[in-house]
Structure 1
Amino acid sequence: MRLWIGLYLTRLPLEVFCPNWSADQCSVVLEQEGVLAVSRRAHQMGVRPGMRRSGALMLAPEARMHERAPQQEQEALHAVAMAMLQYTPQVAPGDGASLLLDVGASLRLFGGIRRLCRLVQESLRKLGFTGVLGVAPTARGAWLLACAGGGRALKLESLQRALQRLPVALLPPLQRHQRWLDGIGCLSIGDLLRLPRPGLQRRCGGEVLEMLDAAQGLAPEMHQWLAAPPSFRARLELFGRIDNTDLLLAGACRLLQQMTGWLCAHQFAVLRIRLLLEHERGRAACPPTPLDIVLAEATWREDHIVRLLKERLAKLELPAPAIGLVLEAPEVEPMAPLSDSLFPEPGGSPQERQRLFEVLVARLGAENVLQAFPKADHRPEVANRWVPLHEKVRPADVAAQLPPRNLPRPAFLLPKPIALLLRDHRPYYGSRLRMVSTAERIEAGWWSQTQSRDYFIAEGEDHAYYWVYRERSPGSEDIRWFLHGLFA
């Protein structure tokens, strides 16, 4: 099933230059001394698009004037397109401030068109933009529905009925012929379709007929798909000097939306991200503050990364207010396939446990969350060391440290062996200890650190089990016993 989402960004100049346009702030965007867009407060004071700058200042003297910059608008549109790549790899630019998404192959993955539209709107909200969605079997039809205020037509028959009611002014080639069309009473696309095609082509050009045929599915459509760059680096300029971590997190979430789309486009999962907080330039220049997050397990989901960023930003002390954010993904790997197990693991999946560990590292610090790391030594007290979670433990190292023939090991190993008393030639620890296993001889160490021991499992009169050893000293007749571990 071929299905398209037309995404038309409304109020794009305002959202680029005036991020608080919905608040009680009077803002006006100008283009060649003419008013292009106004905020709600400016609209209440009588300022309308199409006015001159002088007229707007007479009605709203306190209005903040912003000159339109098409380059920044293109960057904003590109940021939205990058974020949309998480829903489909086929994203194409449309006319004006719009995007076209071929989502026919993504419907089953995201649970249907309604849920997919909600996810697209949620991504737009996180990016700080507003938009209108149109859904249709053709790209041009979806674009027309979006420009008309939104709508959904899942079949060609319903799309053709919906197109009949749309105004002809939506078609860009007809805007310069609007007076002629009004004069002959041609107000809707339905009226336009009833006109003779040869005469319409001579008067308005063949581009109009091509658009109409493409919208109705009568002609093929060609698109230039957006290609994600080979590496990811996105920058966001903040509107002011920010030292509030909540505001910085909101800006970082906008960049994370772009990174999520880039990861999905390349089928990558990220292992390490870097957030650079840029500070004031000029005489009071300060180098950017880096914030690195190392993941124990590669991921491409933004919700987990947002939790880690929130923990790290809450502990971060800024040397100066931030004026910009830069997000990089310096370490990625191919996205792992989904698990093929039929039943979920009890107690949570390995991914959930890794996410818990990463949250603990972000909250407590890497030096306070450690894991066991085997060492090539048979002496129990030196056969392990504790390292941070981001250091990888190879399975070969673990296999090399397993005891021969799977001999039992205690659950609790004492940090230092305890010398035991001897009573009637038997070791004593609260009560007489009775050996219930054969000896396991361990000889290891180099030169002066050589150890020679015979380990036993001993049972006390309270039926508790202990791991004890008898020290073997060549040339000495003294026998010394030590307690080294406790069995659970």
Structure 2
Amino acid sequence: MFDGIGRRVVSIWFPRLASDRALRARPVDGPFALTLKQANADRLYCLDTGAERAGLHRGMAYADARAFCPDLQTRPADPAGDARFLRMLRRWATRYCPWVGLEGRDGLVLDITGAAHLFGGEAMLLSDMRQRLARAGLAARIGLADTRGAAWALAHHGEGCADPGQPLAALDHLPVAALRLGEDTVTGLTRLGLRKIGELERTARAPLTRRFGPEPLLRLDQAMGRQPEQISPLAEPPHYGVRLTLPDPIGLFDDVMAGTGRLLDQLCARLKTQEAGARSLCLTLRRVDQEAQTVELRLARPLRDAARILPLFERGVREVDAGYGIDQMRLEATRVEPLPVRQLSHVSSGRADRLDDLISRIGTRIGLENIQRFLPVDSHIPERGFTIAAAAWSEPEGSWASPRPRPILLFPPEPLAATGPRPPERFRWRRMSLSTARVTGPERIAPEWWLPDENWRSGVRDYWHVETRQGRRLWLFHTPQNPGWFVQGEFA
């Protein structure tokens, strides 16, 4: 849909969207601002009216702001949360018209053509918007015009309403920055004496195009309605839920599983269309007495294969109390992740996902968090060379990179009664008398100074691979700074 005669567009600008959202959740008394780390320095991201009256501004260094305003209260900014909140406001704005889109990071644009009369006219519609936003604690500036560019200019530089068919009369006195131009272009136009939109409209076009390119005149024509500008509303997010209403109540396990299979087929088809996979599913079974039983399922990997998911519901469905019967079933994917289509070949195996299915099946009994795997960590310190992560939320990585072999079994260092820089020929360990047959080493390992670790405060360690005549293959180390011998591992 493009600009044309009779079209009316509303632009809503939230100049303090981030700070208003934060204060709605937790109000404060006094000046308030949100900070965001930029270029290794905390700077003011969004301010309330109290902070602005104190002389602070966006982009100001946090240290300077505290010097100017000691009473300033701050919190870390959350741009992702602000974006989600703006999308919620977009959905709220659909109460006025179905054609609503986002305008940057802090605004909305609405095409209210043919919808204003439902609220008693344009004035009543804008008044209703302002009142509802004010009650919600949100500062908003609203512009109304025939074009998107003119509405944006009025919202940002002169809140008001332009009469139909007369955009220039409303924009004539506004600065050229209201045309959504870049800072360099605005500065260049100002140096030429073109400070107002009306002055730019009455200037010869050819010299402007040669000097600044097509952007200034394109934005001017869009604001005046001479060039079309599209409003693209956001599509509603896909809903991953299906429902089955039964003509007669059911209660047998096989019947419930059959109904679950039908729901899974529909849900997986919808997931395939969106190239997504389910990580968490919730099966709701409504009984004839209006009580509901739920079966939750969490998967080790995103899936959309109904044949693989259905058996995982068996344990939960068997525990359901059907009462006098179940007359409605609902299945919803409560957590969805991207799952692009994969190219299959004669080399790929359809059984490569058996491990994921096993993890999901065991996870339904003991919890996915309790199934863990070891992952390598880029550290030469033996104790830090690995980490433990939940298998369902991690991927197996490459092998451990080490210049020397590492023991299969590691344990806290156990002291030995020995002296000297080389491994002892005879020693006692765990009540066993051992004799050294062969040694390999030393491998010197220095502590990582950037990480505090009390166990490594003694300094460097010289590690030795010691093979004993009794068959034990041990990993010993010597500490030169504080002489002593320890056993830390055993090879297979």
Task: Provide TM-score, normalisation by structure 2.
Answer: 0.44
Task: Provide TM-score, normalisation by structure 1.
Answer: 0.44
Larger helix proportion of the pair: 1
